[in-house]
A and B are shown apart, each in its own frame.
Chain A
Amino acid sequence: MIGQLIIEGLAIGACYGLFGVAVAIIYKTSEVVNFGQGEMGMISTFIAYHILIQYQFPFWLAFIITMIFAILLGMFIEFFLLRPAKDPTVLGLIIITLGAEMMLMSLVGWKWGAEQKDFAFPLSVRDTHEILPGLKLNEWTMGVFILTALIMVLLYLFFRYSNLGVAMRATQQNQNAAKIMGIKVERVFSFTWAMSSVIGAVAAMFFAARSVLDPTYMMEPFMRAFAAAVLGGLTSIPGVVLGGISLGLIENFFGYAWPHWKPIVAFVVIILVLTLKPSGLFAKHYVKKV
C-alpha cells in the first residue's frame, strides 16, 4: 500500500515537475511568469484530439502535428503579445499572460464546447503491470518516468553544451550584456517560448490521459505545477522536478489521510514555503541591492 502510494505520488509528481519545467524555462530566460502555460498545453491537446477524431490519423502523426502547432503557438504568443509591450512592469506581464490564458480558453470553448471528452492516449492508466509482488505500475506511470528522465537529460545537455542553451543562460543573467556579445535576444526569447510550449504540450497530454479533456482541465494541474516550480525555486530546472516530485508525494500521502483536503495541500505548501524560504528549496536567492 505504501509502495503504491509512493509510486503514484512519484508519477504525478514527475508530471507536475515536467509541466513546472515548462514554466521555469520561460521564467529563467525572460523573467516572465507565464500564467497561460496551462491553456497553451490545453489547446495543443485539443488540436491532437481534433486530429485524432476528425481525420483519424495515427497517434504518432497527430503527435508530430501537435508539436509543430505548439512551437508555432509559443512563438506566436511571444511575438504578438509580449514583444510589443515596451518596458512592461511585472504586473503588466502577468496581465498579458492572464489575457492570453483567457483568450485561449475561450477559443477552445468556442470551438469544441464545454462538455468533457475522452482523449485517446496510447498509454492508459488502466493497463497495469505487476513489476514486484504487490506493486502495480501502469503504462501511464512508466511513460511519465521515462519521458521526464529523457527530457531532463536532453535539457541538461542542451543548456550545458549547445550554443543556444548557453545563449539562453547568458540572456537570463544579463540581457544587455548578452546583446553586446552578439546574442539576438529576441530570437532567444522566441525559441524559449517554443521550447516551453512543446514541453508543456507533452505534459498536458499526459494530464489529459489521466483526467478528462475540457477547456478548464489544465487549470488545477497548472497551479500545482507552478507550486512545484516555486517549491523547487523557479530558476533551477532539477530543483523544479525535485519540487514536483516532493509535491506529488506530499499530496498523495496527505490525500490518503484526509481525502477531503487533498486539493488545497499544494497551496498550503507553497504559502508555507514562500513564507519561510521565498526563493524555493533548491535555488540561490539573490537579494535586490539598492
Chain B
Amino acid sequence: MDMKRDYYEDIEIFSSNTVLAWSMAFMIFLFAFPFLVGNYYIYLANVILVHVILAVGLNILVGYTGQISLGHAGFFAIGAYGTALLMTHLPMPFLLAVIIAGLIAAFFGFIIGLPALRLEGPYLAIATLGFGLTIMHIIGTWDVFGGRMGIHAPALEMGIPELGMSLVLNTDMKIYYLILVIAILMVIGGKNLMKTRIGRAFVAIRDDDIAAEVMGVNLTIFKTLSFAVSAFYAGVAGGLFAFVVKFFDPFTFNLILSIVFLVMVVVGGLGSILGAVMGAALITYLQYDLLKNMGELPYLGDLLVSFSRKWFTVIGMDNIGGFLLGLIMVLIVIFEPLGMFGIWIRIKKYWKTWPF
C-alpha cells in the first residue's frame, strides 16, 4: 500500500508516530475496558481475545503461507483438553501447562504439515478436515478425555500451591487481564514473525512454491513450520478458551467451529494481522451477541418473529445467525476478497489524498 523505501522501514512495527499514538490509546482502552462495562461483556471480550489469538495463527497459515486448514478446531481442542488435563493431573502452573499444550498442538501441526507437502487446494482442505473430525472423535471415545460428557476446567492456578505460591484467577475480570497480556504478546509476535526471514519465506511459498524453492526456500521446513506455528497459536488459544467457558465437550470443537475460524480470517482479510484481529472481533461479536437473539432486536425483532411464524418456525430462529454468517462468507469473497482490511485500506487511501 505504502511504498517502503528501505529495509528498516519494512521491519518496524509502527509505521509512524500517529499509528503509535493510536495504538497506545487503544491499549489503554483495552486495559480500562473491564471497568467500563458489565460482566457479560467481559466474558464476551474474553472469547473475542481467544479468537483473536487463534485467527492470527490461522492467518499465518492461510493468509501468509497460502495453505488451507479446515481442522483448526482440532488444534483448538488439543490445546483446551491438554491444558485442562495437565493441570488436573499434575501440579502445574497455568502458564507452563498452556505452553506444553501449545507445543503438543504444534507437534500435531507438524504431523499434518507432512502430507501438506504433497497436497494442495481441495485435497489439503479435506485432509485437514479429516484431522479435525478424527481429533473430535478420539476425544469423544477415550475415557481419559472425559468422553462425550465433557470436562470441567480446573481452577486457574498461576503459581504452585505446594511451594506456598498460589494465585488463583477466579473472576472473568482477572482472566481478562491474563488473556489480554497473552493476546497482545502473541499478536505482536505474529506481526514480528512476518517481518523476519521465516515470514518472508512463508509469503514466497504462498505466491509461488516452485519459485520459492528455486530461490532457496526449503519447502519441507517452512511448510511444516507454518503448520506448527499456526497450531501453536491455536493450542494456546484453546488452553485459554478452556478457562473462559469452564466446561466443554467434544462437540464444542466440531466442523462448524473450524469453518467459523476460517470465516474470521477471510472476513478480516487474508494476509494481514490487523485483518485477523478485526475479523475475529466482528465474527465473534456477531455470533455470540448480535445474531444470537434475533427475536429481541429492537424494531427488526418483531418483524422477524412474525415472518418466521408465517413462513418458517419460531423455534428455529436461532438459525438466522448461521444463515447470515454463510451469506457474509459468500458476499465477502464475491465483493471484497481482501476483507475488512481491504475496506480499511480503501478508506485510508481516500482520506490520505482528500479532497482529490
Contact = CB atoms under 8 A, between A and B. Distances in A.
B125 A100 contact: no
Interface stretch (B1-9, B116-124, B220-228): B116-124
Contacts, number: 146
Interface stretch (B11-19, B99-107, B128-136): B128-136
A111 B320 CA distance: 10
Contact of A223 (B133, B210, B330): B133
A116 to B, nearest CB: 14
Contacts of B127: 270-271, 274
Contacts of A107: 319, 323
A99 B331 CA distance: 9
Contacts of A43: none
Interface stretch (A88-96, A184-192, A238-246): A88-96
Given A95-B266, A110-B313, A102 B322 contact: yes
A274 B118 contact: yes
Nearest to A85: B334
Interface in A78-112: 81, 84-85, 88-92, 94-96, 98-107, 109-112
B336 to A, nearest CB: 11
A254 B99 CA distance: 37
B133 A264 contact: yes
Interface string A249-274: 00000000000110110111011001
A100 B134 CA distance: 24
B320 to A, nearest CB: 6
A110 B319 contact: yes
Contacts of A106: 319-323, 326
Contacts of A288: 210
Contact of B320 (A35, A98, A110, A114): A110
B308 A110 contact: yes
B319 A109 contact: yes
B301 interface: no
A187 to B, nearest CB: 21
A99 B329 CA distance: 5
A49 interface: no
A227 interface: yes
B144 to A, nearest CB: 14
A102 B258 CA distance: 12
A91 B121 CA distance: 7
A271 B322 contact: no
B255 interface: yes
B122 A94 contact: yes
Interface of A: 27, 33, 35, 81, 84-85, 88-92, 94-96, 98-107, 109-114, 219, 223, 226-227, 230, 234, 260-261, 263-264, 266-268, 270-271, 274-275, 278, 288, 290
Please give me the 6 A-B residue pairs with the lowest Cβ-Cβ distance, nearest first: A267-B130, A99-B329, A102-B326, A106-B322, A103-B326, A33-B122
23 contacts: A91-B68, A94-B68, A95-B266, A95-B329, A95-B332, A96-B329, A99-B330, A102-B326, A103-B326, A104-B326, A106-B319, A110-B317, A110-B323, A112-B313, A219-B255, A223-B129, A227-B126, A230-B126, A268-B130, A270-B126, A270-B127, A275-B118, A290-B210
